[in-house]
Structure 1
Amino acid sequence: RPDAIADQLAFLRRALEIARQNGIADDHIVLDPGFGFAKETAEENLDLMARFSELHALGLPLMAGTSRKRFIGTVTGRDAADRGVGTAATSVILRLQGADLFRVHDVAFNVDALALADAMLARQTDRARN
């Protein structure tokens, strides 16, 4: 099975090289590891999600687009239209792994889920300061 992070780092480094060669400034770039794209199994997507924080090595904002993806259906057994709660769960997991932006279909579910994740992160930050 391919290493999900090694594959993504190689792909994103090449994409960054192309963007920079074409005059795109880093402050105009957000990286999207492409959940569901070029990943053949749910396990590859889950591996990417579990190790998502390693993508911070590239030093740029990270976007997560897991909304209604097939791997959520594989895990939950739900059809695409019924994957809102599963998507919100992935949003929380990825926020805790450092995702900055999210592409979702069910905005309200994800806003609420991310509000809780952000509250948890704020508590962790407050606790670390004290």
Structure 2
Amino acid sequence: MEIEPIRVEGLAQFNRALRKLDAEAPKGLRLAHNAAANIVVDTARPKMPKLSGRARASVKARSTRTATRVSAGSNRAAYVPWLDYGGEGRVKGRPPKREFKKGGRYVYPSFYEKRDEVQAELERGLLTVVRSAGLDAD
């Protein structure tokens, strides 16, 4: 199941133009991206197994002004990539081998499931940023 990522042409140039208008304006772009990413986060978290809750808690929106990002894993939950994708894990003290799944089990499938909602939220957020900068959008 391979779905194209959502691409916004001219976003970097738009970011630079916003910065010229107002130094604070581009921060709204990051917030718009985080709102879209949180749709995936809210879908992926409940799907993950819960033993200690660290894996679920490590799934977070980590967007920038030019990219919508979801991160999974942390120093406290370094096993999340193994949990999501699988792999060897045959080192002493590590979990056993888990079947490798190229598309993952939690984060990417959640994106695929909610792709239309993510795109709609991103469009809504970007239009809000444009309007708050005093520009017309069509």
TM bucket normalised to smaller: under 0.3
> Which of the pair has more CA radius of gyration?
2
Q: Which has the higher contact order (CA 8 A, sep 6+)?
A: 2
Normalised TM-score (structure 1): 0.26
Normalised TM-score (structure 2): 0.25
The structure in which a higher percent of residues are helix is 1
